[in-house]
Every structure is written in C-alpha cells, then in structure tokens.
Amino acid sequence: MAGTVRTPGDHAVAWPVRFYASTIGRKVVMALTGALLVGFLLVHMGGNLLIHRGPAAINDYAVFLKSNLAVLWGVRSLPLACCRAPHSRRDVPEPPGRGGSSGALRQANQAGG
C-alpha cells in the first residue's frame, strides 16, 4: 500500500499518523497552527486599530466585513477551528525514554525527591 508503513505488530499506519505521533511532528503542527493563529490575531488587531484613523475608516471596514459574510465567516470558523484543535491537543502521550523536563520531573518524583 502506498503511504503506509508496516510496524512490527504488522499494523498498517499511515505516515501522517506516524508523523504526528512523533515529537518532531507535534512540534511542526504546533508551529504551523500557532503561526496561523498569530496571523489571525494580527489581522484582527489591524482591523480594530482602524478606530484610531477616525469614524470613516472603521465604518468602511465594517461595511467591507458585512458585505463579505462568506469570507468573514469562512476565515472565522473553519481555519480557527482547524488550528485550535491540533494546537491545543494534549492527549498524545510523551514517547517513552524522552528526557524532557516532564520526564525528569517524573523520575525525580518516583525517586522520592
């Protein structure tokens, strides 16, 4: 099968699943979704800062948003939901044998220190 990898248990696992399960994969997903969320925040902030350019600027921006509801809600809902879900996902366990800070803390707690 194209795009699958056989594990020792002979289970076919698609490469995106294996990539996301790795520490590098999780970091890449975190970086990409974080960059998209920061981009959304900057665009949103830019729109809100138009209030300092006067009533005409903020009103023109409001008319633009109201006249493009498909774009407005398309940018609000789908990309934000798609970015937030993997960015805030915490149910993927840390791989065994990794010596990160949580692993060091766990070992210190088990040793009684």
Taking the model in full, what pTM does it have?
A: 0.58
Give mean pLDDT, residues 28-56.
90
User: Is residue 9 included in any domain, yes or no?
Assistant: no
59: containing domain:
32-88
CA-CA distance, 75 to 86, in Å (whole number)? Answer: 17
> How many independent structural domains does the chain possess?
1
Burial class (CB in 10 A: 0-12, 13-18, 19+), 11: exposed
Higher-confidence position of 91 and 73: 73
User: Is residue 56 included in any domain, yes or no?
Assistant: yes
User: Is residue 78 included in any domain, yes or no?
Assistant: yes
CA-CA distance, 25 to 21, in Å (whole number)? Answer: 7
Q: What is the pLDDT of residues 50-78, one digit of tens each?
A: 999 999 999 999 999 899 888 888 877 77
